[in-house]
Amino acid sequence: MSALSRPWNRLTLGGKIILPLLLVLVALTVALLAGWQIGLIPALLDIGLAIVTDNIDIFRFLAAVTAILLFTVPTAFVVGYIELKVIAFVNLRIGPNRVGPWGALVAVFHGLKMLIKEDFAPTGADVPVFTLAPVVTFMATVLTLLVIPFAPGLVGLDMNIGLLYFFAVSGLTVVGLMMGGWSSFNKYSLIGGIRAAAQVISYELPLLLAPVGVVMLAGTLSLNQIVVNQSGWFWDWYVFQQPLAFVIFFIAATAEGNRTPFDLTEADSEIVAGFATEYSGMRFGFFYFAEFVNVFILSALTVILFLGGWNAPIDVAPILGYFNITLNPAAIDPGALGLGLLIVLLVGIPVLILGMTLVVWMLKSNWSFLKALIVAFVLFNVVVGGVVGLWAYMSFEVVAGLFWFSAKTITFVFVFAWMRATLPRVRIDQLMGWAWKWLVEIALLNIFITAGAILLIEELNR
């Protein structure tokens, strides 16, 4: 035993971790090779493939849900970072610029800060309900991503009642807010929960009524089909056919997403922190995760309903056809170079980087050669990434669609952050009065006008 224990005790902590991992890796490699030789692993793969094929819908649903859950984490961090930088820019401040490049990791560390803080439940609270409230709020927001079409064919579930599903699931947010306020055993939390529920329920009416005109024009509740119906040029987008509905929807979405000037669900100047007064740690973080993800989702839904979704604002196909220009980037086959491709990768790339280094060094003579080399290397990768991205954009419809969808959605995220840095908060009576006295009536009027216009056009076409 001493022959084994003595070398083991002399290992550093890193060695004691790495050595067992290497032994496990070697054992797994031997087991996999043995299993492959005796035919066990191919048999298991065939069985697994048969199970997946027979239950493809279930596995597709599970894969979509897993991808959506993984997608929400970076989305919340990106939206949080954009908000920090935009508010700093509007207020003439530098903003986050220390953690990560341009402060890009500051939102990540804010999330880690919430994760390591004490998760405290107040005395007298209904602990199960208190714990489930942020989960319900977060999941009600996340599950709406299941029907969001990001690009052609890139959708979790293309339901023919996708819009109805979206509003039905997102409405469960009210339940989570009320659960959090009621279970906290705090009067401020209870008042905040009731007020948050009143706000969400009030603005769900104009939020639901505004897209009715779009549904009447599209003839479907499928979000995917609504986007397809807007293909072509930008004047085919529903925002130009339903401008009043777009304004109503945007205002209602601002209130539904708890964004300035309607961020009264946790108005800290009035009721401490609203329904979340007693929350701390990651349970508190889940509420704000849900809010940031909700900003992205509401922006995405606005783009889908009114701004063409993944469709580009200009249809280049007829323009290229007019000038008899044919583009087929998919026909590019680097493998046809054979050995020349290997020479280009091993010799051509270093030569190009060195050439760019000399150019940078001549332009910045006060720099060291190493600094110029690093800058040239970064520039080379940026150029290559841009070329590859352009090739993918022109070759694959899903890449082009994802680009335009992301660009439009991020633009609305920027607008929401801009509003937060600019507009003052309204009073609760103004908030409720604006919904019930104006938005609902205007949304109903828009439905009647749209229906009348559709009937008139049908009569004229007969």
Tell me the C-alpha to C-alpha distance, in Å, between residue 116 and each of 128, 132, 280, 285.
Answer: 21, 19, 10, 11
- Domain check: are 84 and 211 in the same one? yes
- Domain check: are 297 and 311 in the same one? yes
- Domain check: are 436 and 363 in the same one? no
Digit-coded pLDDT (tens) for 34-49 = 888 788 888 888 888 8
Alpha-carbon distance 7 to 74, whole Å? 44
In a domain, 110, yes or no: yes
In a domain, 5, yes or no: no
- Domain check: are 333 and 310 in the same one? no
In a domain, 222, yes or no: yes
**Domain around 151:** 58-318+400-461
Residue finishing a domain among 362, 379, 395: 395
Residue pair 186/122 in contact by the 8 Å Cβ criterion: yes
- Domain check: are 129 and 191 in the same one? yes
- Domain check: are 227 and 366 in the same one? no
Looking at the structure of the chain, the number of domains it has is: 2
Residue finishing a domain among 342, 369, 395: 395
Which 3 state secondary structure label does DSSP give 138? helix
pLDDT band at 9; cut points 50, 70, 90: confident
Residue pair 307/415 in contact by the 8 Å Cβ criterion: no
In a domain, 302, yes or no: yes
- DSSP string covering 392-403, please? HHHH-HHHHHHH
- Domain check: are 171 and 255 in the same one? yes
- Domain check: are 372 and 405 in the same one? no
Angle between helices 56-90 and 127-142 (to 10 degrees): 90
Alpha-carbon distance 203 to 50, whole Å? 48
Predicted TM-score (pTM) of the model is 0.82
The string over 387-396, giving b where at least 16 C-beta atoms fall within 10 Å of a residue's C-beta and e elsewhere, is: eeeeebbeee
In a domain, 161, yes or no: yes
In a domain, 274, yes or no: yes
In a domain, 24, yes or no: no
Digit-coded pLDDT (tens) for 411-462 = 999 999 999 889 888 888 888 999 999 999 999 999 999 999 888 888 888 7
Which 3 state secondary structure label does DSSP give 331? helix
Q: Is the bond leading into 261 cis (omega within 30 degrees of zero)?
A: yes
- Domain check: are 389 and 408 in the same one? no
- Domain check: are 420 and 380 in the same one? no
| Phi, psi for 171 (deg, rounded to 5) | -65, -15
- Domain check: are 385 and 418 in the same one? no
Tell me the C-alpha to C-alpha distance, in Å, between residue 54 and each of 47, 49, 63, 375, 408.
Answer: 11, 9, 15, 53, 39
pLDDT band at 329; cut points 50, 70, 90: low
In a domain, 21, yes or no: no
In 135-188, which ranges are E strands? none
Residue finishing a domain among 395, 430, 448: 395
Digit-coded pLDDT (tens) for 243-300 = 999 999 999 999 988 888 888 877 656 656 778 888 888 888 888 888 889 999 999 9
Which 3 state secondary structure label does DSSP give 154? strand
Please give the pLDDT value at position 248.
Answer: 94
Tell me the C-alpha to C-alpha distance, in Å, between residue 122 and each of 118, 138, 272, 278, 333.
Answer: 12, 21, 16, 7, 64
Amino acid at 250: F
- Domain check: are 112 and 134 in the same one? yes
Digit-coded pLDDT (tens) for 85-133 = 999 988 888 888 888 778 888 888 888 888 888 888 888 888 899 999 9
